């Protein structure tokens, strides 16, 4: 069983989920998430910390991860069953 996220990770997870609640069609790379999803909210973290939060959300099936032809990875909202 996975340990619960550390407080910093939980803060990042909540901020990412809040961004997606406001912008459900958002799609961004790790850099975009850091700059637009978090930075615009005044939240600053390392790339490794943000990547860990994104991976937690992907593993929890709350985010979708898509690799583009150029290798860029995009993160998008993954609606829950029954959610539009």
Q: How confident is the model at residue 7, as a pLDDT?
A: 61
Q: How confident is the model at residue 84, as a pLDDT?
A: 60
Cα–Cα distance, 84 to 31 (Å, whole number): 27
Q: Residues 6-60: pLDDT tens digits?
A: 666 899 999 999 999 999 999 999 999 999 999 999 999 999 999 999 999 999 9
Q: How confident is the model at residue 6, as a pLDDT?
A: 64
| pTM of the predicted protein model | 0.84
Identify the CA nearest to 25 among candidates 72, 79, 71, 73.
79
Domains of the chain: 7-77 (1.10.10.10)
**C-alpha pair distances (Å), 29 with each of 26, 33, 35, 68, 72:** 10, 6, 10, 10, 7
């Amino acid at each position: 069983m996975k340990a619960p996220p550390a407080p910093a990770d939980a803060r990042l997870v909540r901020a990412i989920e809040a961004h997606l609640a406001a912008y459900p069609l958002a799609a961004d790379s790790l850099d975009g998430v850091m700059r637009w999803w978090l930075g615009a909210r005044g939240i600053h973290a390392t790339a490794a910390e943000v990547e860990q939060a994104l991976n937690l959300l992907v593993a929890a099936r709350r985010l979708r991860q898509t690799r583009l032809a150029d290798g860029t990875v995009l993160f998008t909202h993954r609606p829950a069953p029954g959610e539009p």
